[in-house]
Amino acid sequence: MADNLEGKSRAYQEAGVDIDLATSLLKKVKGKISATRRPEALAPIGGFGGLFQIDLSRWKHPVMVTSIDGVGTKLMIANMMNKHDTVGHDIVNHCINDIAVQGAEPVYFMDYIGIGKLVSPLYEQVLEGIADACLRQNVTLIGGETAEMPGMYGKDYDLVGCITGIVERDAIISGEHIRPGHVAIALPSSGLHTNGFSLARKVLFDKAGYTVDSRPAELGGASVGEALLQPHTCYWPAIRQAMADGIALDGIAHITGGGLYDNVPRILPEDISVVFDAAAIRHAPPVFKLIAEKGDIERHEMYRVFNMGVGMVWFVPQQQAEQAIAICKGAGFDANIIGQAVAGNHTVTVENA
């Protein structure tokens, strides 16, 4: 019987799937994964399901908030650079931001890696990046799935994450309280984050002829690959502090695919519009200007596809703007006012774009 099982194992390996390699590589990063465990996590990673107990001495009326997303074609840049640790930060931080905008504290995360053939050190780099990002925000990496699928993927791979958080029912941030006169505060992005890479790759590689190692003067010494691979910023520390300090965070928008035009209306009341001043956006990474110039892309489309230097927008009452900005700066974000809410019909205008 033992010889028969061994034969089956070799047959599966010859078909392109190496079960033993996956187990071996996972052991290398189990220490980092274990370091992310919060006390509420009840079982070690590796079970059929992750167990997480809500601390009802802390949460009185807890509401679970969950979101799922992927890194997209930014993974192709990681492959070109042969650098895979930062995409782990990308997926964790993107997912955290998506639930933090509703006031939810992120508590546990799960990942999915789909790949044609498992290779080292790609696998460890991705998981170590995920674990490091989770540890930084006190999130338990509670489980995951690695699917080795020869024939489905070539040299590329896919990376998806699912985050779960908790918010008190009466503390949910929905945007419903945004009124005319609320100011829009921008928290800066580090670059493209995880959106717009299909257009960026077409412009920079196909049209402009750059490689990931090219260093155009516009990027100030950085290579194209370095500029594109900048990790997605996590804004939860600033949100957490603002909530603790009693700031009226009446609406928060995570600026992802669709930019200001498509993401901000998701939180606006039907009778509210927002007017942004593009000239007020500070420290926009130069990669956006490079893409616009090399691709001859009209500014309106740039603001529809990319975050254009704004990773998140807070809507707060005018009288709390100064305090909110100070909290952002204390968390490491050079935030500033870039617009305001006005009476309208659920639309966004970007002036001076």
Q: Which DSSP helix (H) or strand (E) runs through 104?
A: none
Residues of the chain with CATH 3.30.1330.10: 20-171
Q: What is the pLDDT of residues 76-111, one digit of tens each?
A: 999 999 999 999 999 999 999 999 999 999 999 999
Estimate to the nearest angstrom the gap between the alpha carbon of 75 and the chain centroid: 13
The pLDDT, as a whole number, for residue 2 is 46
What does the pLDDT read at residue 46?
A: 72
Measured CA to CA, the distance from residue 113 to residue 153 in angstroms comes to 11
Low-confidence ranges of the chain (pLDDT < 50): 1-3
- pTM, to two decimals: 0.94
For position 58, what pLDDT does the model report? Answer: 95
Q: How many helices (H) and strands (E) does the chain have?
A: 12, 10
Q: What is the 3-state secondary structure (H, E, C) of 297-345?
A: CCHHHHHHHCCCCEEEEEEECHHHHHHHHHHHHHCCCCCEEEEEEEECC
Q: For 131, how many CA atoms within 13 A lie in the half-sphere containing its CB?
A: 20
pLDDT given for residue 1 in this prediction = 43
pLDDT of residue 9: 56
Span(s) in the chain for CATH 3.90.650.10: 183-351
Please provide the CATH number assigned to the domain covering 183-351: 3.90.650.10
Longest Cα pair distance anywhere in the chain, in angstroms?
A: 76
Architecture (CATH level 2) of domain 20-171: 2-Layer Sandwich (3.30)
